[in-house]
Amino acid sequence: MTATPVLSIRNASRHYQSGDSIVKALDDVSMDIMPGEVVGILGPSGSGKSTLLLIAGLLEPPTLGEVYIGGERVSYPDAMLEGLRSFRRHNIGFVFQKANLIPFLTALENVALALEIDDVTPRDARDYARWLLGSLDLAHRRNNLPKQLSGGEQQRVAVARALANDPRLILADEPTAALDGERGKQVIRLFRQIATEADASVAVVTHDPRVLSLFDRSYELRDGRIVKGHHPRQETA
């Protein structure tokens, strides 16, 4: 018996019109991520990593190809956009390449905000937000505004915010770029812990060689195509 991938991308391409020419930001890419997996997405600048993540996060439709979440095909007619937004809010945690925190809310409020939807009471939301910030060593900074935080601290608040709604799919675009080696590993380890405990799936775009050994496997992109897959956990025992 094989499990259903949390995320399955089939032959996806994303083309952008740029003047008279077409940029193939993504060119016939297929990718599966299974429950509990933590997968890296590597590749040089401009190779299509962020584009792939936006498609995986249902933030952009592929020009060609299909996306399946939990085995269900995602469709993108305009009439569905509100439904897609709600689905994303409940199921997908996204860490953007820039932290994008709300400037007039404290760290704790930024994290708890993602939780204050539907069935979570504000108090539980704040307790869980506090736990998330604590596991990223930010408990003492929780009442600071973003401008009172360092770049790396803001990035970790953005990670906590993406995890707040217990997403089954976590997508992170260079979440460790502003962090030192130990902090970077701490973020990936937290992803791993949540993947294991909640059977969530995680895809992380990174240039950081120090975290590669923490992934179950990784995909490498070049010019919009997947050129190879790695299994670093097996290679570097």
Ligand X SMILES: Nc1ncnc2c1ncn2[C@@H]1O[C@H](COP(=O)(O)OP(=O)(O)OP(=O)(O)O)[C@@H](O)[C@H]1O
- For binding to Mg ion (CB under 5 A), which residues are involved? 50
Residue that has been written with the tokens 């070049």 in this structure: 222
Neighbours of 225 (CB within 10 A): 16
- Report the distance separating Cα 4 and Cα 15, nearest Å: 28
Q: Is 49 in the site for ligand X (CB under 6 A)?
A: yes
Q: Is 47 in the site for ligand X (CB under 6 A)?
A: yes
Q: Report the side by side order of strands in the sheet with 21-33.
A: 21-33, 7-18, 64-69, 72-73
Q: Is 165 in the site for ligand X (CB under 6 A)?
A: no
Q: Least CB distance from residue 107 to Mg ion, whole Å?
A: 25
Which parts of 7-26 interact with ligand X (CB under 6 A)? 16, 18, 23, 25
Among Mg ion, ligand X, none, residue 175 binds (CB under 5-8 Å by kind):
none
By residue count, the chain amounts to: 237
Whichever of 98 and 183 has its CB closer to ligand X, that residue is 98
Q: Least CB distance from residue 50 to Mg ion, whole Å?
A: 3
Nearest residue to Mg ion on Cβ basis: 50
Among Mg ion, ligand X, none, residue 47 binds (CB under 5-8 Å by kind):
ligand X
Q: Which residue from 2, 45, 234, 236 is in contact with ligand X, where contact means CB under 6 A?
A: 45
Whichever of 13 and 135 has its CB closer to Mg ion, that residue is 13
Q: Least CB distance from residue 152 to Mg ion, whole Å?
A: 18
Q: Least CB distance from residue 205 to ligand X, whole Å?
A: 7
Q: Least CB distance from residue 136 to ligand X, whole Å?
A: 23
Whichever of 27 and 37 has its CB closer to ligand X, that residue is 27
> Which span (42-50, 120-128, 142-150, 188-196) binds ligand X, by CB under 6 A?
42-50
Whichever of 2 and 17 has its CB closer to ligand X, that residue is 17
Q: Least CB distance from residue 51 to ligand X, whole Å?
A: 3
**HEC profile of the chain:** CCCCCCEEEEEEEEEEEECCEEEEEEEEEEEEECCCCEEEEECCCCCCHHHHHHHHCCCCCCCEEEEEECCEECCCCHHHHHHHHHHHHHHEEEECCCCCCCCCCCHHHHHHHCCCCCCCCHHHHHHHHHHHHHHCCCHHHCCCCHHHCCHHHHHHHHHHHHHCCCCCEEEEECCCCCCCHHHHHHHHHHHHHHHHHHCCEEEEECCCHHHHHHCCEEEEEECCEEEEEECHHHHCC
Q: Is 236 in the site for ligand X (CB under 6 A)?
A: no
Residue whose C-alpha is closest to residue 56's, from 4, 22, 5: 5
Q: Which residue from 8, 13, 50, 110 is in contact with ligand X, where contact means CB under 6 A?
A: 50
Q: Which residues bind ligand X (CB under 6 A)?
A: 16, 18, 23, 25, 43, 45-51
